Structure 1
Amino acid sequence: MNFQSPLTSRLLFDKQNHSNETLLSLYRAMLKPRLIEEKMLILLRQGKISKWFSGIGQEAISIGVTHSLHPDEYILPMHRNLGVFTAREIPLFRLFSQWQGKASGFTKGRDRSFHFGTQEFKIIGMISHLGPQLGVADGIALAHKLKKENKVTAVFTGEGGTSEGDFHEALNIASVWDLPVLFCIENNGYGLSTPTNEQYRCENIKDRGIGYGMEAHQIDGNNILEVFSKVSGLAESMRANPRPVLLEFKTFRMRGHEEASGTKYVPEDLMKEWALKDPINNYKSFLLEEGILSEETDNEYHSAIKKEIDENLLLAYEEPAINSSEINELNDVYQSFDYKHFEENKKGENIRFIDAISQGLKQSMRKHNNLVLMGQDIADYGGVFKITEGFLEEFGKDRVRNTPICESGIVEAAMGLSINGMKAMVEMQFADFVSSGFNPVVNYLAKSHYRWNQSADVVIRMPCGAGIGAGPFHSQTNEAWFTKTPGLKVVYPAFPYDAKGLLNTAINDPNPVLFFEHKALYRTIRQDVPTNYYTIPFGKAALLKEGEQVSIITYGAPVHWVLETLEAFPELNVDLIDLRSLKPIDEDSIFNSVKKTGRALLITEDSVFGSVISDISAMINEKCFEYLDAPVMRLGSLETPIPFAANLENQYLMKNKIHDKLMELIDY
């Protein structure tokens, strides 16, 4: 069979000990999203809305789950979970304004449909990639657990979403950490047009729970009383005994994936069979038969809800089209950060780059009791570079957490911690491995504040760089992947003093920060570093050398390679700028230096094409063209992956070409 049949031919309801008031409230709650959807389908045909993802036939799941949770417990719904939003009593005009891209919505016209969150109603909406919200739920639940709050987090996905790697990572993390997450899988038969037998081969999705060592249940998703009773009992149990639970709700999508896609791929007999299991019609018949609901009361419900819909639609229609300015748009990409300067003391000690990172991290842990460190092997082992060695004894396993090998899921969990009022630091074991967590970094962390005013208070530490014979998968300096993405900050220190101060600032900053640490500098570079907690502002470059011949602009390990070159050729008279911060970048220091010298050599360890220095070159060309006495020149590594053998790696890196490139520029 290439489709799923109903669990039973008709719905059987068990009142259990629910009061008539409760039974009626569940019916009215299901009726509201159904009537809204019916209105939206009319508006869609009239061209008054652009798109609609229908949840008709699935209302019992959204309503049953939402009514089972406390109002202060987070829910992470999808685009067929209108009932979650209405059950949380979001004013309808705000929902309608959201769908029309108006200011009373939740995203200032920057995103559509249900792609938003609202702390006021404890709802965290989806992104189109589906999978990341599962890991975000883990982080929210982890924050509750660390704060000793007996709360449950519910997160939705469809059977199609269970094929994504994020599903595996999120369930595995939740199981290993005993997180109170309800993973609600709406198995509605089709992922767009792909039937379930082409999506997975286990008999039931609930069977996957066995592999994660977690409790799992299959529920008739069209039976509101079965959903409500089962989920209410589980939620109560999970609050007392925190653990994850997988719920497979068997249901059916009665309309297209979205209205334009239709349902021609669904057998007609199957549509008729599931239509008989309509959750609202069946439940209404049951309530009428039991004498709990009367036709008169039902008519009153319909009339009141339709009136509410019409009145709120009018409010949304009367609201003017949203207006903004370029300044407003740019200012909302990042959360405002009121930088607070902590002055260094005069007492210093000569320490290595790696010691400065460790010292800054430890002092930040003492300063921020809500800071949680996560990464592979960072607890007992202290991390592969031993930066967190000894942290476990001082801060404990709650705050220094070993993770499974699941970069995507852990970045998502970090986002969840931020949503629930905590700070997170994720250590990528090697910067190269961030590719396995790329999606949540660039699509979730980076965009959340711009989309719905939610900060991503997350620092991702990125041990990076060549020069230690680590080969193609442990040596990249991939900062350009992230400087391109609005919403991220990117920092890349070259000295111990800068590393400590900038890391402290990164942890204070409520925005997502990619913090690059060159591995070859860890144990080779020493400096006198203040012993106390201090900070350094982002976007301020360091002028290490002053001269008149040329401006050398670089960052990271190449700073030291340039210093070695200048020491070997003392006759060279240059400005040497260490950028330290790549996003934001210190344009003034760059332009002032180039205007003074008339020449610029930009150096990166990265390959040149698409690199940070290529953008800086364009900036100089646009802002300083009339001051230039020679072309802006760039120097980077070979356009190849990073080789392992020492002689090949030396040939790959541009460190031995710095002097020749300098002379070429000076002699131009």
Structure 2
Amino acid sequence: MLRMFLFCVNFVTFIERLKSVTKVMKYTDYSLSDHTKIKLYKQLLLPRLIEEKMLILLRQGKITKWFSGIGQEAISVGVTAALHPDEYLLPMHRNLGVFTTRGIPLSRLFSQWQGKANGFTKGRDRSFHFGSQEHKIIGMISHLGPQLGVADGIALANLLKKNKQVTAVFTGEGATSEGDFHEALNVASVWNLPVLFCIENNGYGLSTPTNEQFNCKDLADKGIGYGMESHCIDGNNILEVYTRVNALCSDLRENPRPVLLEFKTFRMRGHEEASGTKYVPQELLDTWEAKDPITNYEAFLLASNTLTADAIALLKAKMQQEIEDELQISYQEEDLPLVPEKELADVYAPFTYKEEAPNLTTENIRLVDAISQSLKQAMEKHGNLVLMGQDIADYGGVFKITEGFVAQFGKERVRNTPICESAIISAAMGLSINGMKAVVEMQFADFVSSGFNPIVNYLSKTHYRWAEKADVVIRMPCGAGVGAGPFHSQTNEAWFTKTPGLKVVYPAFPFDAKGLLATAINDPNPVLFFEHKALYRSLYQEVPTAYYTLPLGKAALLTKGTAITIVAYGAAVHWALEVLEERPEIHADLIDLRTLQPLDTETIYHSVKKTGKLIILQEDSLFGSLASEIAALVMEECFEFLDAPVQRVASLDTPIPFSKILEHNYLPKDRFLKALLALLAY
């Protein structure tokens, strides 16, 4: 009886509210059928009712955080309804209507928000920070910007597949100030990618009003600088949103190009519920409350006799019951079990190494040739592999590794990029999401800092968060010894070896480089592949001519001895070899790591337990480096076998100088022999 009484009270309140609606919004039929108009209403209503329930649960402590999209539902629903079910959407945290319109089971959404196993992230991330390939939804990360580049990559894959599909990506007005926004728009325009860039201009970035964020009348004007079509749309008018986006999508499927859409709307609640809205003038809230997308649309449907008040009230009651039923399903789900082994196992996507043995025919080639050969053979093997980088097409790259590739594979798969590392790395992730493989060439490893965010916050975390692979290899020409100075000489592998989810490969020989690169491309996980520039053309080796693979995470024992263990990688391997060749009386195990993550600790520990002494030689500067990590691991695991302290020999903790004299002093090559002899004599 109480429920029925409350229903009657709410029904009367509902009718009175409809009568008081000021006709501040104008609707036209847009030649839509009543069926479509009613369907849009149902899709519009559901996220509002869910939100109202979530606000109650938030106050009850049953969910921990909520980013409200109340007042903005028409954008999410209208855009989603205009796209085909197999077209990708990249929403943000106020786009609940995207998820509900795509038909995601409510019980799974409720489990996600409670951190339960039936959610999409197994309790590892919150709110809408997840994706679902089944529903072609790719969720956001808190850094906002990278998803715009990811949309570029998804759209590029659609172009290459010639499937006439559109991709829609959402962002807020605040994120249009981020560099990723501008990079992604530029790439999409240059490549004519069928992307809808949807800006929800809702008035505030947390508490910062729009007039303190940008100095232009309309954000749509930002498209002009990129030669991009752009439009302003009333984001509270569901019929306008759906009709205009639907028409654009139909056109873009036949005439691919990016379009920038600015949806004018307002955020009626705080950035998140704890923030409140005290900083918003009341008259502004009142103005936009009068433009509420649901109340106004209800009034239109009633006035046009498309729906009756009874039908609307019953529809709301039915949806509210569905919400309660689905909540009960999530409530009955047991709390997430803690399985530490599973947490570690899920950091990387499963990969079963398949050995393809080297052929017997070899040729004496340089490191640069081995890498080029491996790339070319991988392109032949994987028809879905795309190479991207600055000047890699007709020019062949600054190191000429891709010279001649355009003639064989075409510019669609060997793509020159603008100078925008972040957007291109994000686009590589988008290619992976849409079923392709990507290899990105950093012109110099130093420049990866401009694309650092998508590597360490998107590529590395995606599989752990929601079980999506990141089938991306980033080639990293690196290293000193060539007089290139502070910005073209770094060997910055330690930036990435400490980031869970990334794999890091660093070959020292042409044979290893060719086989390891082939495996890195086969691996569905993100791989940073370091290539030492000083070795590119100075180092020759007999290398098999055909395609072959080598396993990641397996070091090579180059020399054997019982007196001491030397661990090195990259150019440092050759410095150690020179010393051992000059001092044949030193009987050492020389281990070339080849792969830094995963690290072959088994080979290191086995050698140290035999020799009792360990020295680690690297080109990177010392503090916080891989050498420090290896030293700590050996101290923990092999302490009782050590006859002397572990020694680390590395470059100085300074930027890399240009002068040959200063650079030589910076590098540890000369200091290595002295440290080696001292450790042997300990």
TM-score of the alignment, normalized to the shorter chain, above 0.5: yes
CA distance in structure 1 between the partners assigned to 2:433 and 2:268 by the alignment = 34
Is 1:481 matched with 2:488? no
Residue of structure 2 aligned with 1:176, choices 169, 186, 190: 190
Q: Which whole-Å CA distance do the structure 1 matches of 2:216 and 2:389 have between them?
A: 32
Q: Matches of 1:207 and 1:45 in 2, distance apart?
A: 41
- Counterpart in 2 of 1:517? 531
| Cα deviation 1:343-371 (Å, max 9, x = unaligned) | 00110000000000000000000000000
Paired letter, 2:622:
V
1:301 and 1:143 map into 2 onto residues whose CA distance is 40
- Residue 146 of structure 1 corresponds to 160
Q: Deviations over 1:190-242 (max 9, x none)?
A: 00000001000011100000001010000000001110010000000000000
Corresponding letter in the other structure for 2:256? P
The corresponding residue for 1:301 is 315
Counterpart residue identity of residue 400, structure 1: V
Please tell me whether the aligned partners of residues 563 and 586 of structure 2 are also in contact (alpha carbons under 8 angstroms).
yes
Amino acid at match of 2:71: G
The corresponding residue for 2:443 is: 429
CA distance in 1, matches of 2:199, 2:30: 25
The equivalent residue for 1:506 is 520
2:475 aligned with 1:464: no
Structure 1 letter corresponding to 2:27: F
Select between 565-574 and 623-632 the one with higher mean Cα deviation. Answer: 565-574
> Could you give the per-residue CA deviations for residues 483-514 of structure 1, whole angstroms, max 9, x where no partner exists?
00000000000000000000000000000000
Cα distance change on mapping 1:385 and 1:375 into 2, 3 Å: same
Q: Encode CA deviations 1:403-455: one digit per residue, 9 max, x unaligned.
A: 00000000000000000000000000000000000000000000000000000
- 2:430 alignment partner, one of 408, 412, 416: 416
| Aligned counterpart for 1:120 among listed residues 115, 134, 137 | 134
Structure 2: distance between partners of 1:556 and 1:621: 24
Give the structure 2 partner of residue 292 of structure 1: 306
Q: Is 2:229 the partner of 1:192?
A: no
Aligned runs of 1:215-364 on 2, under 5 Å? 215-364=229-378
The reply to whether residue 203 of structure 1 matches residue 203 of structure 2 is no
SS across alignment from 2:638: helix
Find the counterpart in structure 2 of residue 74 from structure 1. 88
- Matched residue SS, 2:171: strand
Q: Residues of 1 paired with 2:120 and 2:500: CA distance?
A: 20
Aligned to 1:18: 32
CA distance in 2, matches of 1:405, 1:21: 48
In structure 2, the partner of 1:656 is: 670
2:564 to 522, 530, 550: 550
Contact 2:609-2:638 at 8 Å conserved across structures: yes
Q: 1:541 aligned to 548, 551, 555, which one?
A: 555
Residue 5 of structure 1 aligns with which residue? none
Q: Secondary structure at the match of 1:124?
A: coil
Q: Which residue in 1 is equivalent to 2:227?
A: 213
Query: Does structure 1 residue 38 correspond to structure 2 residue 52?
Result: yes
2:71 corresponds to which of 42, 52, 57: 57
Aligned counterparts of 1:506 and 1:599: Cα–Cα separation in 2: 32
Report the secondary structure of 1:469's partner residue.
coil
Q: Secondary structure, in 3 states, of the residue corresponding to 1:185? A: strand
Give the residue type in structure 2 aligned to 1:653: L
Structure 2 partner of 1:406: 420
| Paired AA for residue 502 in structure 2 | L
The one-letter code matched in structure 1 to 2:616 is L
What one-letter code is carried by the residue in structure 2 that aligns with 1:154?
A
Is residue 385 of structure 1 aligned with residue 399 of structure 2? yes
**What is the alpha-carbon distance in structure 1 between the residues aligned to residue 460 and residue 412 of structure 2?**
26
Residue of structure 2 in register with 1:560 after alignment: 574
Deviations 1:308-357 (A, max 9, x none): 10000000001010113111111100011010000001100000000000
Contact in 1 for aligned 2:386/2:439 (Cα 8 Å): yes
Instruction: Kindly provide the amino acid, as one letter, of the partner of residue 189 in structure 1.
Output: G
Distance 1:555 1:46 in 2: 55
2:100 equivalent among 65, 83, 86: 86
Query: Per-residue displacement from partner, 1:153-192 (whole Å, max 9, x unpaired)?
Result: 0000000010100000000000000000000000000000
TM-score normalised by the chain length of structure 1: 0.98
SS in 2 for 1:123: coil
The 8 Å contact of residues 519 and 549 in structure 2, kept in 1 or not, is answered as yes
Report the alpha carbon displacement of residue 612 of structure 1 after superposing the two structures with TM. 0.4
Cα gap change, 1:9 to 1:264, in 2 (>3 Å):
farther
Q: Name stretches of at least 5 consecutive residues in structure 1 with no aligned partner.
A: 1-7
Q: Is 1:666 equivalent to 2:680 in the alignment?
A: yes
Tell me by how many angstroms 1:14 deviates.
Answer: 1.1
Q: 1:527 aligns with which of 537, 541, 551?
A: 541
Task: Return the offset for 1:48.
Answer: 1.3
Give deviations 1:577-602, integer Å, cap 9, x for gaps.
00000001111110111111110000
**Which residue of the other structure, out of 149, 173, 179, is the alignment partner of 1:135?**
149
Encode CA deviations 1:613-636: one digit per residue, 9 max, x unaligned. Answer: 100001111111111111000000
Match of 1:3 in 2: none
Q: 1:617 aligns with which of 596, 616, 631?
A: 631
Closer, same or farther in 2 for the Cα pair 1:273/1:201, shift >3 Å?
A: same
| SS across alignment from 1:372 | strand
Q: Which amino acid in 1 is paired with 2:169?
A: V
CA distance in 2, matches of 1:585, 1:47: 43
- Per-residue Cα deviation, 1:14-66 (whole angstroms, up to 9, x for no partner): 11210001011111111100000000111111111111100000010000000
1:117 is paired with a residue whose SS is coil
SS in 2 for 1:559: helix
TM-aligned CA deviation for residue 391 of structure 1 = 0.3
| Corresponding residue to 1:637 among 644, 651, 664 | 651
Structure-2 separation of matches of 1:625 and 1:259: 52
Contact 2:23 2:296 in 1 (8 A): no
Q: What CA distance in whole angstroms lies between the structure 1 residues aligned with 2:649 and 2:246?
A: 63
Take 2:681 and 2:557, find their aligned partners in 1: how far apart are those partners?
24
CA-CA distance at 1:549 after TM superposition? 1.2
Answer whether contact 2:201 2:262 (CA < 8 A) is retained.
Answer: yes
Where has structure 1 moved over 2 Å in runs of 4 or more?
none
**CA deviation map 1:508-552 (0-9, x unaligned):** 000000000000000000000000100000111111011111100
Give 1:79 shift: 0.4
Give the TM-score taking structure 2 as reference length: 0.96
- Alignment partner, residue 4 of structure 1: none
Deviation at 1:9, TM superposition (A): 7.8
What are the within-5 Å matches in structure 2 for residues 362-377 of structure 1? Answer: 362-377=376-391
